[in-house]
Amino acid sequence: MSESRLIDTAAAREILRANDRDGHTVPTDGLYPFQWSWDSAITALGWQTFDEDRAWREAEVMFDGQWGNGMLPHILFHGGNADSYFPGPSVWGSRTRIPSSAISQPAIWATTLGMMLERAADRKLAETRLAPLVPKLVDYHRWWYRERDPDGTGLIVSYHPWESGMDNSPAWDKPLARVPEVEWTYERRDLGHVDSDQRPHKPEYDRYLYLVDFYKRHDFNSRVIYEECPYRVIDVALVALLHRASIDLLPLCAHFGITEGVEEVEAGISRTQAAIDRLWNDERRCFLSFDTRADEPLDVITTGTVLPLFAGLASDAQASAMLELIEEWLDASTVGLASTHPASPLYEPKRYWRGPIWSHINWMIALSAEAAGRPDIAERLQSDTRRLINEAGFWEYFDPDAVAGCGGDRFSWTAAVALYWLA
Ligand code: DGY
């Protein structure tokens, strides 16, 4: 059976090599021609399986683009050819040495770098390369708690659907609909690479761009943006992934003798632990994101809504409820796990984050299920992901009903997940 067939590791390595641009890996050629933060963090784990030096380089190049205030941008626009992607650095109003976007992405770096230290075959190399990155990780985490939770609620906020990494998730439909549309015209580049039925619609793009303009217009002033940004959402996945990464960061700080700023990270961890239950929804059997402008939960079950499992943020009862939900959800499509629950009227199996499967999310949920004592769910996710890659290829995402690849082909994080999790 195809799901038990071995993964083609030679093909996966070849994808990473082909997507290598002198120290950073593009997610896929064409559609995403620069360095994306969470793609890069996942991709480094794949590099580590066959080229440890190159894996550490991926992280070093990313952290070279860290802002002075600690923020790690979601895109670094290395090198020339800025016009190959829209919106490029001039639209963002970038003023940094390495041009960048002005928002971040899920903070998974401390988690993946911690795993890399643990898995390192060359321990000395790992120690040498990771040591200078740890204070940068601390600064990054402090930035999240300070700038995105200035009132100390325990729940950081997000200012853009792109910051979630789950850009077009139906969870963001309502808060995004309240954002004005830009009136200027522009040319989308994504539609030159991928079918429009697998990408966001124009009204969504008009609003994405309004937000990009908004930060620039307010000179990236974090207090003003916190108070006035029309889109301000508590994204439960962003909260959970930061929380898990903060917990993973503490032993790294202890190991490398870093103390500065660690108290702020510890305080952030405690505040989130105390606050997370505000997002729990008994009826839905998961946590829900929250629109702080409309003061209402975002009532859509997505793979993001169960990620508190990955962060150890769920009580035993909450964890069992979510695992039961995940089992039924797996049964609802040919292969799992669909990014939006197939029973939702908003489920679209091919469109970006509105239904397709992502391999790195399956990996996170499998790790969570295993830690919660459900290796059967973990194995099912693993064999489904293997089947998708074996039958369809190393695609950006997969249609859960048709068992087919969508979005960008020869995709770095899919190749990386195959190398470190499935091979
Ligand atoms: C895109 O261009 O779709 C990216 O996901 C934005 O980060």
131 CA from centroid of ligand 1 (Å): 31
Active site residues: 167, 396
| Confidence (pLDDT) at 2 | 45
* Ligand 1 atom nearest 36 alpha carbon: 7
* Ligand 1 atom nearest 352 alpha carbon: 3
Ligand 1 in contact with 189 (CB < 6 A)? no
Label residues 362-392 b or e (16+ Cβ within 10 Å = b). bbbbbbbbbebebeebbebbbbbbbbbbbeb
* Ligand 1 atom nearest 85 alpha carbon: 2
108 CA from centroid of ligand 1 (Å): 18
Ligand 1 in contact with 391 (CB < 6 A)? no
Element (H, E) at 134: helix 133-148
Q: What is the pLDDT of residues 216-262, one digit of tens each?
A: 999 999 999 999 999 999 999 999 999 999 999 999 999 999 999 99
Take atom 6 of ligand 1 and give the residue whose Cα is closest.
162
Best CA proximity match to 225, nearest among 217, 78, 331: 217
162 CA from centroid of ligand 1 (Å): 6
Residue with tokens 């959402």, as numbered in its chain: 233
How far apart (Å, rounded) are the C-alpha atoms in residues 184 and 181? 9
Ligand 1 in contact with 167 (CB < 6 A)? yes
Ligand 1 in contact with 352 (CB < 6 A)? no
Six-digit token string for 311: 């962060």
Ligand 1 in contact with 191 (CB < 6 A)? no
| Confidence (pLDDT) at 4 | 58
| Confidence (pLDDT) at 82 | 83
Element (H, E) at 280: strand 280-281
Inter-helix orientation angle 109-119/37-48, to 10°: 10
Contact assessment for residue 164 and residue 231, using Cβ atoms and an 8 Å cutoff = no
| Confidence (pLDDT) at 156 | 98
84 CA from centroid of ligand 1 (Å): 13
Tell me the average confidence (pLDDT) per consecutive run of 10 residues in the chain, 423 residues long: 74 98 96 97 98 98 98 95 91 96 98 98 98 98 98 98 98 98 94 94 96 97 97 98 99 98 98 98 98 98 98 98 98 97 96 97 98 97 98 98 97 98 96
